Amino acid sequence: MDNKELAERLREIAGKDYVLTSDMDRMLYSYDASLEKAIPDVVVLPNSTEEVSKIMSLAYREKIPILGRGSGTNLTGGSIPVKGGIVVHFSRMNRILEIDIPNRTATVEPGVITLDLQTEVLKKGFIYQPDPASQKVSTIGGNIAENSGGPHCLKYGVTSNHILGLEVVLNDGTVIWTGGKSRDNPGYDLAGLFVGSEGTLGLVTKAILKLERAPETIKTMLAIYETIEDGANTVSAIIAEGIVPATLEMMDNPVMRAVEETIKVGYPLDAAAVLIIELDGMPEGMDEKAQKIMEICKQNNVREVKLAKDDAERDLLWAGRKGAFGAVGQVRPSYLCCDGTVPRTKLPEVLNKVMDISKKYDVPIGNVFHAGDGNLHPLIMFDERNKDELKRVLKASTDILKACVDVGGTISGEHGVGLEKLKETSFIFCENDIEFERHIKKAFDPDDFINPGKMIPEPVCEQ
Protein backbone atom coordinates (compact mmCIF):
# COMPACT_ATOMS: atom_id res chain seq x y z
CA MET A 1 0.00 0.00 0.00
CA ASP A 2 1.51 3.34 -0.94
CA ASN A 3 1.40 6.33 1.37
CA LYS A 4 -1.39 7.97 -0.56
CA GLU A 5 -3.66 5.00 -0.20
CA LEU A 6 -2.65 4.61 3.44
CA ALA A 7 -3.64 8.21 4.13
CA GLU A 8 -6.93 7.67 2.33
CA ARG A 9 -7.74 4.64 4.44
CA LEU A 10 -6.83 6.48 7.61
CA ARG A 11 -9.11 9.38 6.59
CA GLU A 12 -11.96 6.90 6.29
CA ILE A 13 -11.29 5.86 9.87
CA ALA A 14 -10.49 9.15 11.62
CA GLY A 15 -12.00 11.78 9.37
CA LYS A 16 -10.28 13.89 6.76
CA ASP A 17 -9.18 16.66 9.13
CA TYR A 18 -7.33 14.28 11.36
CA VAL A 19 -4.79 12.77 9.04
CA LEU A 20 -1.64 14.76 8.37
CA THR A 21 0.55 14.16 5.34
CA SER A 22 2.21 17.42 4.34
CA ASP A 23 6.00 17.65 4.60
CA MET A 24 5.67 20.40 7.16
CA ASP A 25 3.25 18.42 9.33
CA ARG A 26 5.30 15.25 9.19
CA MET A 27 8.42 17.22 10.02
CA LEU A 28 6.74 18.38 13.23
CA TYR A 29 6.39 14.76 14.30
CA SER A 30 9.98 13.88 13.47
CA TYR A 31 11.49 14.84 16.80
CA ASP A 32 10.88 14.67 20.54
CA ALA A 33 12.89 15.94 23.51
CA SER A 34 15.83 13.67 22.60
CA LEU A 35 18.44 14.25 19.92
CA GLU A 36 16.93 11.65 17.58
CA LYS A 37 14.99 12.43 14.42
CA ALA A 38 13.00 10.50 11.79
CA ILE A 39 10.04 11.45 9.63
CA PRO A 40 6.79 9.43 9.72
CA ASP A 41 4.85 8.58 6.57
CA VAL A 42 1.61 9.77 8.04
CA VAL A 43 0.18 11.13 11.28
CA VAL A 44 -3.30 10.32 12.51
CA LEU A 45 -5.24 11.85 15.39
CA PRO A 46 -7.93 9.40 16.48
CA ASN A 47 -10.82 10.34 18.73
CA SER A 48 -11.82 6.99 20.21
CA THR A 49 -10.73 3.49 21.08
CA GLU A 50 -12.70 2.17 18.09
CA GLU A 51 -10.73 4.37 15.75
CA VAL A 52 -7.43 3.33 17.31
CA SER A 53 -8.46 -0.29 16.95
CA LYS A 54 -9.23 0.18 13.25
CA ILE A 55 -5.96 2.00 12.69
CA MET A 56 -4.09 -0.79 14.42
CA SER A 57 -5.82 -3.51 12.38
CA LEU A 58 -4.88 -1.70 9.22
CA ALA A 59 -1.24 -1.42 10.27
CA TYR A 60 -1.29 -5.09 11.30
CA ARG A 61 -2.67 -6.31 7.98
CA GLU A 62 -0.29 -4.17 5.97
CA LYS A 63 2.67 -4.59 8.34
CA ILE A 64 3.18 -0.86 8.62
CA PRO A 65 5.22 0.39 11.60
CA ILE A 66 3.06 2.26 14.09
CA LEU A 67 3.65 4.14 17.30
CA GLY A 68 1.74 6.22 19.81
CA ARG A 69 2.65 9.75 20.72
CA GLY A 70 1.63 11.90 23.64
CA SER A 71 3.31 15.27 23.90
CA GLY A 72 6.67 14.17 22.58
CA THR A 73 8.54 15.20 25.74
CA ASN A 74 10.30 11.91 26.29
CA LEU A 75 14.04 12.21 26.39
CA THR A 76 15.17 8.99 24.71
CA GLY A 77 13.64 8.96 21.24
CA GLY A 78 10.65 6.81 22.24
CA SER A 79 8.28 8.63 19.90
CA ILE A 80 10.64 8.81 16.91
CA PRO A 81 9.35 6.75 13.96
CA VAL A 82 12.73 5.28 13.02
CA LYS A 83 11.12 2.90 10.56
CA GLY A 84 8.64 5.42 9.21
CA GLY A 85 4.99 4.40 9.15
CA ILE A 86 2.11 5.76 11.20
CA VAL A 87 2.30 8.07 14.21
CA VAL A 88 -0.86 7.94 16.31
CA HIS A 89 -1.09 11.24 18.14
CA PHE A 90 -3.36 11.05 21.18
CA SER A 91 -3.99 14.76 21.65
CA ARG A 92 -7.71 14.46 20.88
CA MET A 93 -8.21 11.60 23.29
CA ASN A 94 -7.67 13.86 26.26
CA ARG A 95 -10.81 13.40 28.31
CA ILE A 96 -10.96 12.73 32.02
CA LEU A 97 -13.76 10.19 31.84
CA GLU A 98 -14.47 9.78 35.52
CA ILE A 99 -13.19 10.73 38.93
CA ASP A 100 -14.54 8.10 41.28
CA ILE A 101 -13.81 9.23 44.81
CA PRO A 102 -15.50 6.31 46.64
CA ASN A 103 -13.23 3.92 44.74
CA ARG A 104 -10.22 6.24 44.80
CA THR A 105 -9.74 6.08 41.05
CA ALA A 106 -9.71 8.28 37.98
CA THR A 107 -10.39 6.91 34.52
CA VAL A 108 -8.75 8.87 31.74
CA GLU A 109 -7.87 8.78 28.08
CA PRO A 110 -4.15 8.63 27.32
CA GLY A 111 -3.89 12.15 25.94
CA VAL A 112 -4.83 13.80 29.25
CA ILE A 113 -2.08 16.15 30.43
CA THR A 114 -0.69 14.93 33.76
CA LEU A 115 -1.09 18.26 35.53
CA ASP A 116 -4.66 18.76 34.24
CA LEU A 117 -5.69 15.54 35.92
CA GLN A 118 -3.80 16.43 39.08
CA THR A 119 -5.48 19.83 39.24
CA GLU A 120 -8.92 18.28 38.81
CA VAL A 121 -8.49 15.65 41.50
CA LEU A 122 -6.90 18.12 43.91
CA LYS A 123 -10.13 20.12 43.79
CA LYS A 124 -11.70 17.10 45.46
CA GLY A 125 -8.90 16.77 47.99
CA PHE A 126 -7.07 13.97 46.20
CA ILE A 127 -3.72 13.45 44.58
CA TYR A 128 -2.43 11.46 41.67
CA GLN A 129 1.11 11.09 42.94
CA PRO A 130 3.51 10.62 40.00
CA ASP A 131 4.70 14.14 39.25
CA PRO A 132 7.34 14.29 36.49
CA ALA A 133 8.85 17.74 36.20
CA SER A 134 7.29 17.83 32.73
CA GLN A 135 3.78 17.36 34.17
CA LYS A 136 2.51 20.60 32.60
CA VAL A 137 3.00 19.10 29.14
CA SER A 138 3.43 15.34 29.39
CA THR A 139 0.47 12.98 28.93
CA ILE A 140 -0.69 10.08 31.06
CA GLY A 141 -0.13 7.78 28.05
CA GLY A 142 3.49 8.89 27.84
CA ASN A 143 3.91 8.58 31.62
CA ILE A 144 2.63 5.01 31.46
CA ALA A 145 4.88 4.08 28.56
CA GLU A 146 7.97 5.50 30.28
CA ASN A 147 6.98 4.59 33.86
CA SER A 148 7.69 8.19 34.72
CA GLY A 149 8.91 9.28 38.08
CA GLY A 150 9.04 12.62 39.81
CA PRO A 151 10.04 14.35 43.03
CA HIS A 152 7.31 12.68 45.11
CA CYS A 153 8.19 9.18 43.94
CA LEU A 154 10.68 8.81 46.79
CA LYS A 155 7.82 8.27 49.20
CA TYR A 156 4.99 7.30 46.89
CA GLY A 157 6.57 5.21 44.16
CA VAL A 158 6.63 5.63 40.40
CA THR A 159 3.85 5.50 37.80
CA SER A 160 3.59 1.71 37.89
CA ASN A 161 2.59 1.84 41.55
CA HIS A 162 -0.40 4.01 40.61
CA ILE A 163 -1.85 2.28 37.56
CA LEU A 164 -4.71 -0.09 38.37
CA GLY A 165 -6.09 -0.91 34.96
CA LEU A 166 -5.53 -0.29 31.28
CA GLU A 167 -7.54 -0.54 28.11
CA VAL A 168 -5.14 -1.61 25.42
CA VAL A 169 -5.38 -2.07 21.67
CA LEU A 170 -3.36 -5.18 20.81
CA ASN A 171 -1.37 -5.80 17.64
CA ASP A 172 -4.30 -7.11 15.60
CA GLY A 173 -6.69 -4.41 16.77
CA THR A 174 -8.30 -6.44 19.56
CA VAL A 175 -9.27 -4.26 22.52
CA ILE A 176 -8.76 -5.65 26.00
CA TRP A 177 -9.03 -4.38 29.53
CA THR A 178 -6.46 -5.56 32.01
CA GLY A 179 -6.82 -4.83 35.71
CA GLY A 180 -9.53 -2.43 36.76
CA LYS A 181 -10.93 -0.58 39.72
CA SER A 182 -10.63 -3.70 41.82
CA ARG A 183 -7.19 -4.90 42.83
CA ASP A 184 -5.64 -8.37 42.83
CA ASN A 185 -7.34 -9.59 39.70
CA PRO A 186 -6.17 -13.14 39.04
CA GLY A 187 -3.68 -13.78 36.26
CA TYR A 188 -0.45 -12.23 35.08
CA ASP A 189 0.09 -8.59 36.00
CA LEU A 190 -0.23 -7.25 32.46
CA ALA A 191 -0.79 -3.67 33.58
CA GLY A 192 2.48 -3.97 35.48
CA LEU A 193 4.17 -5.18 32.32
CA PHE A 194 2.66 -2.48 30.10
CA VAL A 195 3.87 0.31 32.35
CA GLY A 196 7.43 1.08 31.32
CA SER A 197 7.20 -0.92 28.09
CA GLU A 198 7.90 2.24 26.06
CA GLY A 199 4.90 1.77 23.81
CA THR A 200 6.29 -1.44 22.29
CA LEU A 201 3.52 -3.85 23.32
CA GLY A 202 0.34 -2.10 22.20
CA LEU A 203 -1.48 1.23 22.34
CA VAL A 204 -3.04 2.34 25.59
CA THR A 205 -6.46 3.90 25.06
CA LYS A 206 -7.73 4.26 28.64
CA ALA A 207 -6.20 4.05 32.08
CA ILE A 208 -7.55 3.68 35.59
CA LEU A 209 -5.31 5.55 38.00
CA LYS A 210 -5.07 5.29 41.74
CA LEU A 211 -5.84 8.37 43.79
CA GLU A 212 -4.69 9.16 47.30
CA ARG A 213 -5.96 11.67 49.78
CA ALA A 214 -4.04 14.93 49.82
CA PRO A 215 -1.86 15.17 52.92
CA GLU A 216 -2.99 17.40 55.78
CA THR A 217 0.34 19.16 56.04
CA ILE A 218 3.35 19.83 53.88
CA LYS A 219 6.64 21.26 55.10
CA THR A 220 9.22 22.32 52.55
CA MET A 221 12.81 23.16 53.36
CA LEU A 222 15.68 24.53 51.35
CA ALA A 223 19.20 23.58 52.42
CA ILE A 224 22.18 25.41 50.94
CA TYR A 225 25.62 23.77 50.67
CA GLU A 226 29.19 24.78 49.94
CA THR A 227 29.93 21.39 48.37
CA ILE A 228 27.78 18.91 46.47
CA GLU A 229 29.17 16.14 48.59
CA ASP A 230 27.74 17.60 51.79
CA GLY A 231 24.35 17.75 50.14
CA ALA A 232 24.57 14.17 48.93
CA ASN A 233 25.68 12.97 52.36
CA THR A 234 22.70 14.70 53.92
CA VAL A 235 20.41 12.64 51.71
CA SER A 236 21.79 9.35 53.01
CA ALA A 237 21.87 10.63 56.58
CA ILE A 238 18.18 11.55 56.55
CA ILE A 239 17.16 8.12 55.30
CA ALA A 240 19.50 6.47 57.80
CA GLU A 241 17.67 8.35 60.55
CA GLY A 242 14.50 6.47 59.63
CA ILE A 243 12.78 9.39 57.94
CA VAL A 244 11.45 8.99 54.41
CA PRO A 245 10.53 12.49 53.24
CA ALA A 246 8.12 13.00 50.35
CA THR A 247 10.94 14.62 48.41
CA LEU A 248 14.72 15.01 48.36
CA GLU A 249 15.66 17.00 45.26
CA MET A 250 19.05 18.44 44.51
CA MET A 251 20.36 21.13 42.19
CA ASP A 252 23.95 22.25 41.66
CA ASN A 253 25.47 25.61 40.90
CA PRO A 254 25.38 25.61 37.07
CA VAL A 255 21.68 24.74 37.14
CA MET A 256 20.90 27.33 39.82
CA ARG A 257 22.60 29.93 37.65
CA ALA A 258 20.46 29.01 34.68
CA VAL A 259 17.36 29.19 36.85
CA GLU A 260 18.32 32.60 38.18
CA GLU A 261 18.99 33.90 34.69
CA THR A 262 15.51 32.95 33.57
CA ILE A 263 12.96 32.29 36.35
CA LYS A 264 14.60 34.10 39.30
CA VAL A 265 13.59 32.35 42.48
CA GLY A 266 16.42 33.69 44.63
CA TYR A 267 18.83 30.76 44.80
CA PRO A 268 22.23 31.75 46.28
CA LEU A 269 24.59 31.89 43.32
CA ASP A 270 27.75 31.49 45.37
CA ALA A 271 26.65 28.12 46.79
CA ALA A 272 27.61 24.75 45.30
CA ALA A 273 24.26 23.03 45.68
CA VAL A 274 20.81 23.22 47.21
CA LEU A 275 18.58 20.46 48.49
CA ILE A 276 14.79 20.73 48.54
CA ILE A 277 13.39 18.59 51.31
CA GLU A 278 9.68 18.09 51.76
CA LEU A 279 7.75 16.25 54.46
CA ASP A 280 4.06 15.49 54.12
CA GLY A 281 1.35 13.67 56.03
CA MET A 282 -0.33 14.22 59.35
CA PRO A 283 1.01 17.24 61.26
CA GLU A 284 1.58 15.25 64.46
CA GLY A 285 5.26 14.66 64.94
CA MET A 286 6.20 16.58 61.83
CA ASP A 287 7.73 19.60 63.59
CA GLU A 288 10.09 17.30 65.47
CA LYS A 289 11.04 15.54 62.24
CA ALA A 290 11.65 18.83 60.47
CA GLN A 291 13.81 19.88 63.40
CA LYS A 292 15.70 16.60 63.20
CA ILE A 293 16.27 17.05 59.49
CA MET A 294 17.64 20.52 60.02
CA GLU A 295 20.03 19.12 62.60
CA ILE A 296 21.19 16.49 60.12
CA CYS A 297 21.77 19.24 57.57
CA LYS A 298 23.90 21.07 60.11
CA GLN A 299 25.92 17.96 60.88
CA ASN A 300 26.63 17.84 57.17
CA ASN A 301 27.98 21.39 57.02
CA VAL A 302 24.94 23.11 55.63
CA ARG A 303 25.45 26.85 55.13
CA GLU A 304 21.84 27.66 55.76
CA VAL A 305 18.57 25.78 55.92
CA LYS A 306 15.22 27.51 55.78
CA LEU A 307 11.64 26.41 56.04
CA ALA A 308 9.12 27.77 53.53
CA LYS A 309 6.80 30.01 55.55
CA ASP A 310 3.76 29.70 53.35
CA ASP A 311 2.43 28.29 50.09
CA ALA A 312 3.84 31.19 48.10
CA GLU A 313 7.34 30.51 49.36
CA ARG A 314 6.91 26.81 48.75
CA ASP A 315 5.68 27.39 45.19
CA LEU A 316 8.70 29.56 44.52
CA LEU A 317 11.12 26.86 45.69
CA TRP A 318 9.39 24.39 43.40
CA ALA A 319 9.15 26.75 40.44
CA GLY A 320 12.93 26.73 40.32
CA ARG A 321 13.14 22.96 40.43
CA LYS A 322 10.38 22.28 37.94
CA GLY A 323 11.63 24.94 35.56
CA ALA A 324 15.26 23.85 35.75
CA PHE A 325 15.42 21.85 32.50
CA GLY A 326 13.71 24.63 30.59
CA ALA A 327 16.06 27.20 32.11
CA VAL A 328 19.11 25.22 31.06
CA GLY A 329 17.58 24.93 27.59
CA GLN A 330 17.33 28.70 27.45
CA VAL A 331 20.89 29.49 28.44
CA ARG A 332 22.46 26.90 26.14
CA PRO A 333 21.17 25.77 22.74
CA SER A 334 20.99 22.08 23.64
CA TYR A 335 21.42 19.69 26.52
CA LEU A 336 21.52 15.95 26.90
CA CYS A 337 20.00 14.56 30.08
CA CYS A 338 21.54 11.33 31.39
CA ASP A 339 19.13 9.36 33.53
CA GLY A 340 21.58 7.04 35.30
CA THR A 341 20.41 5.85 38.69
CA VAL A 342 22.49 4.57 41.59
CA PRO A 343 21.92 3.20 45.07
CA ARG A 344 21.55 6.47 46.95
CA THR A 345 24.56 5.89 49.17
CA LYS A 346 26.74 6.02 46.05
CA LEU A 347 25.65 9.53 45.12
CA PRO A 348 28.73 11.43 46.37
CA GLU A 349 31.06 9.02 44.59
CA VAL A 350 29.21 9.17 41.30
CA LEU A 351 28.74 12.94 41.38
CA ASN A 352 32.48 13.29 41.69
CA LYS A 353 32.94 11.01 38.71
CA VAL A 354 30.48 13.09 36.71
CA MET A 355 32.59 16.16 37.40
CA ASP A 356 35.72 14.31 36.26
CA ILE A 357 33.94 13.28 33.06
CA SER A 358 32.88 16.88 32.49
CA LYS A 359 36.54 17.91 32.66
CA LYS A 360 37.78 14.99 30.59
CA TYR A 361 35.56 15.79 27.61
CA ASP A 362 35.51 19.52 28.21
CA VAL A 363 31.73 19.77 28.29
CA PRO A 364 29.84 21.74 30.96
CA ILE A 365 27.53 19.58 33.09
CA GLY A 366 24.81 20.74 35.45
CA ASN A 367 23.02 18.50 37.93
CA VAL A 368 19.38 18.67 38.92
CA PHE A 369 17.98 15.44 40.19
CA HIS A 370 15.89 13.18 42.38
CA ALA A 371 18.58 12.65 45.01
CA GLY A 372 16.42 10.61 47.37
CA ASP A 373 15.98 7.94 44.71
CA GLY A 374 19.61 8.07 43.60
CA ASN A 375 18.26 9.17 40.23
CA LEU A 376 20.84 11.47 38.62
CA HIS A 377 20.14 13.85 35.78
CA PRO A 378 23.46 15.27 34.65
CA LEU A 379 22.60 17.80 31.95
CA ILE A 380 25.40 18.00 29.44
CA MET A 381 25.13 21.41 27.83
CA PHE A 382 26.29 22.03 24.28
CA ASP A 383 25.56 23.44 20.87
CA GLU A 384 24.22 20.84 18.45
CA ARG A 385 25.71 22.69 15.47
CA ASN A 386 29.19 22.02 16.77
CA LYS A 387 29.76 18.46 15.53
CA ASP A 388 32.94 17.92 17.48
CA GLU A 389 31.27 19.00 20.70
CA LEU A 390 28.35 16.68 20.01
CA LYS A 391 30.72 13.73 19.71
CA ARG A 392 32.29 14.53 23.05
CA VAL A 393 28.85 14.92 24.62
CA LEU A 394 27.80 11.45 23.52
CA LYS A 395 31.00 9.94 24.85
CA ALA A 396 30.57 11.74 28.15
CA SER A 397 27.01 10.45 28.41
CA THR A 398 28.12 6.86 27.86
CA ASP A 399 30.86 7.27 30.46
CA ILE A 400 28.39 8.62 32.99
CA LEU A 401 26.03 5.69 32.51
CA LYS A 402 28.94 3.29 32.83
CA ALA A 403 29.96 4.99 36.07
CA CYS A 404 26.43 4.50 37.41
CA VAL A 405 26.35 0.83 36.48
CA ASP A 406 29.80 0.29 38.02
CA VAL A 407 28.47 1.18 41.47
CA GLY A 408 25.44 -1.10 41.17
CA GLY A 409 23.10 1.30 39.41
CA THR A 410 21.32 1.32 36.09
CA ILE A 411 21.18 3.25 32.83
CA SER A 412 17.71 4.69 33.21
CA GLY A 413 15.62 5.51 36.24
CA GLU A 414 12.64 7.10 34.54
CA HIS A 415 13.28 8.16 30.94
CA GLY A 416 13.56 4.74 29.36
CA VAL A 417 15.99 3.18 26.93
CA GLY A 418 14.32 4.26 23.70
CA LEU A 419 16.77 4.67 20.87
CA GLU A 420 19.30 6.65 22.78
CA LYS A 421 20.49 3.98 25.19
CA LEU A 422 20.19 0.82 23.12
CA LYS A 423 23.95 0.44 23.10
CA GLU A 424 24.25 0.99 26.83
CA THR A 425 21.84 -1.86 27.62
CA SER A 426 24.92 -4.06 27.30
CA PHE A 427 26.20 -2.47 30.53
CA ILE A 428 23.38 -4.06 32.51
CA PHE A 429 22.08 -6.97 30.47
CA CYS A 430 23.64 -10.09 29.07
CA GLU A 431 22.30 -11.75 25.94
CA ASN A 432 20.03 -14.07 27.98
CA ASP A 433 18.31 -11.18 29.70
CA ILE A 434 17.60 -9.57 26.38
CA GLU A 435 16.45 -12.85 24.89
CA PHE A 436 13.84 -13.07 27.65
CA GLU A 437 12.65 -9.57 26.76
CA ARG A 438 12.42 -10.53 23.11
CA HIS A 439 10.10 -13.37 24.07
CA ILE A 440 7.86 -10.95 25.93
CA LYS A 441 7.81 -8.63 22.94
CA LYS A 442 7.01 -11.56 20.63
CA ALA A 443 4.03 -12.59 22.71
CA PHE A 444 2.48 -9.19 21.99
CA ASP A 445 3.95 -8.28 18.64
CA PRO A 446 5.50 -11.16 16.70
CA ASP A 447 5.77 -9.02 13.55
CA ASP A 448 7.68 -6.27 15.35
CA PHE A 449 5.71 -3.37 13.91
CA ILE A 450 4.65 -1.65 17.16
CA ASN A 451 7.20 1.08 17.95
CA PRO A 452 9.94 -0.99 16.34
CA GLY A 453 13.62 -0.47 16.98
CA LYS A 454 13.20 0.73 20.57
CA MET A 455 14.30 -0.53 23.95
CA ILE A 456 15.50 -3.98 22.91
CA PRO A 457 18.73 -4.11 20.93
CA GLU A 458 18.79 -6.28 17.81
CA PRO A 459 20.59 -9.60 18.23
CA VAL A 460 24.32 -9.16 17.61
CA CYS A 461 24.34 -11.64 14.77
CA GLU A 462 21.32 -13.31 13.21
CA GLN A 463 21.76 -16.96 12.42
Ligand X SMILES: Cc1cc2nc3c(=O)[nH]c(=O)nc-3n(C[C@H](O)[C@H](O)[C@H](O)COP(=O)(O)OP(=O)(O)OC[C@H]3O[C@@H](n4cnc5c(N)ncnc54)[C@H](O)[C@@H]3O)c2cc1C
Q: Which residue ranges make up the site for ligand X (CB under 6 A)?
A: 32-33, 67-75, 78-79, 90, 110, 132-134, 138-139, 141-143, 145-146, 148-150, 198-199, 203-204, 325-326, 414-415, 451
| Residue 190 binding another protein, by CB under 8 A | yes
Does position 409 interact with another protein (CB under 8 A)? The reply is yes
Q: Does 300 bind another protein (CB under 8 A)?
A: no
Nearer to ligand X, 105 or 135 (CB): 135
Which of 143, 233 has the CB closer to ligand X? Answer: 143
Report 35-74 residues binding another protein (CB under 8 A). none
CB of 141 to ligand X, least distance (A): 3
Q: Are 90 and 78 in contact (CB under 8 A)?
A: no
The whole-angstrom separation of Cα 217 and Cα 221 is 13
Number of residues that bind another protein (CB under 8 A): 90
Q: For 386-423, give the DSSP string.
A: -HHHHHHHHHHHHHHHHHHHHTT-BS-SSS--TTTTTT
For 281-340, the three-class secondary structure string (H helix, E strand, C coil) is ECCCCHHHHHHHHHHHHHHCCEEEEEECCCHHHHHHHHHHHHCHHHHHHHHCCEEEECCC
Which residue's CB is nearer to another protein, number 3 or number 182?
182
Q: Does 104 bind another protein (CB under 8 A)?
A: yes
Residue 253 binding result from ligand X, another protein, none, given CB thresholds of 5 to 8 Å by partner type? none
- Residue number, 59 or 203, with CB nearest to ligand X: 203
| 348 belongs to the binding site for another protein (CB under 8 A) | no
What whole-number distance in Å separates Cα of residue 368 and Cα of residue 382?
A: 17
Question: Binding of another protein at residue 425 (CB under 8 A)?
Answer: yes
Binding residue for another protein, selected from 92, 181, 332, 402, defined by CB under 8 A: 181
Instruction: Kindly tell me which of 294 and 331 has the beta carbon lying closer to ligand X.
Output: 331
Site for another protein in 365-394 (CB under 8 A): 370, 373-375
Q: Binder to another protein among 1, 27, 97, 176 (CB under 8 A)?
A: 176
Amino acid at the residue 74? N
d(CA 341, CA 154): 13
CB of 194 to another protein, least distance (A): 9
Judged by CB, which is closer to ligand X: 78, or 231? Answer: 78
Q: What's the CA dihedral at 19, 450, 84, 60 to 10 degrees?
A: -70
252, 366 Cβ separation under 8 angstroms? yes
**Cβ contact 449:59 at 8 Å:** yes
Task: Residue 379: name the closest of 392, 368, 395, 389 by CA.
Answer: 368
Residues 6+ apart with CB under 8 A from 174: 53
